[in-house]
Amino acid sequence: MKSWDYNLNLEFDKYQGIKNWLKYRICDMDYDCDVSKYAMDVYKEKYEFLSTGIVQPQYNNFPSFQKWNRHNLKWEIQLNDTLYSGDTLNSFATPFNRFANVFISKLNNKKFKLIYIGKDTYELLLKEFDIVFSDYNLSQVEYSREIIEYFDKFANLTHTIGNLFPVPLYFNKERTGENGDYEFPDILLKSIYDFYLSKDSNKKEVGISVIKEKKRIDKTVKWLNSFGSGKAGWNKFIEVYRFSMYLDEKSEPMELWNNHNIENTKTPDIGEEFLYYLSFVCDCIEKRGNEIFIRNSKNNAKIYKKH
């Protein structure tokens, strides 16, 4: 219970973190947080193997693609013959859409349907937000009040540096957008773990982050091989990218929720397991962000082989 002078107007227009995220998603600018100039500067400073790279506007070497970066708000790092972009580790959109649909359905409004979101749908949700997520509606679904609080925290954390990491350009294309069900760190890390340690060649190929186009597979293989091979390669990759908080005591990737894997990507039903997943993710993002900034990247061993 809050004190006597609590302003009840604060009960309206809550969850500004989520609302700001929605505003970001409907923005007309060619801007992505994980490929911003600031993100590239952090990647270059905090990841030793990128320290000699050149930060430049994305598509700088591909004039025909510059229409996708009209305002020079997307950046990349060129290191020898490889271009590095940025990627988001934990998807906010996929679990949030799952959660939002539970409450949108209560409005019995067919114009709402959140699966893969377009701009118009997010605009509509933003406009109707305080009705969709009213106190009454939240009270009808167990754990939903706690879940939306964690979503608000997650929204504020999702574009912090603890939830971003540098990768070769196009590495993650097949794990985003309509394929966002794959954009979770346990699936990502299990895939890379299999690449380094599986003796099954088919599993190794599936393990390269759901990438299907051969040219991109080759670039990903080149990137992963630069950290070494086998157990040593896996350990070095985890060390460089500060992913230890997503591993168990055996240094193997932990599932974000029960039976979550590349063949079973459905998020949990809204309830206690969903709440635990969100709290765990927020904790990991905070830990990883602190580790990236606290650790002096200049003291890291130089692990990256020249291309």
Each residue's pLDDT expressed in tens, for the chain with a length of 307 residues? 788 888 888 778 899 999 999 999 988 777 889 999 999 999 999 999 999 999 999 877 777 677 777 778 889 999 998 899 999 999 999 899 889 888 877 665 555 555 555 677 888 889 889 988 999 999 999 999 999 999 999 999 999 999 999 998 877 665 554 545 778 999 889 988 988 998 776 655 544 545 555 556 677 888 889 999 999 999 999 999 999 999 999 999 999 999 998 888 889 999 999 999 999 999 999 999 999 998 644 444 444 444 4
Tell me the longest C-alpha to C-alpha distance in the chain.
65
pLDDT of residue 299: 46
- Please, which residues have CB within 8 angstroms of residue 298's CB and are 6 or more apart in sequence? 48
The two three-digit tokens of residue 298, written as one number: 């200049």
Torsion 76-286-247-88 (CA) sign: negative
Of the candidates 284, 270, 243, the residue with the CA atom closest to the CA atom of residue 95: 270
> From the CB of residue 2, how many other CB atoms can be counted at a distance below 10 Å?
8
Report the Cα 146 to chain-centroid distance in Å: 21
pLDDT of residue 19: 96
pLDDT of residue 218: 74
The two three-digit tokens of residue 27, written as one number: 């923005």
Taking the model in full, what pTM does it have? 0.87
pLDDT of residue 47: 95
User: From CA 100, how far away is CA 129, in angstroms rounded?
Assistant: 10
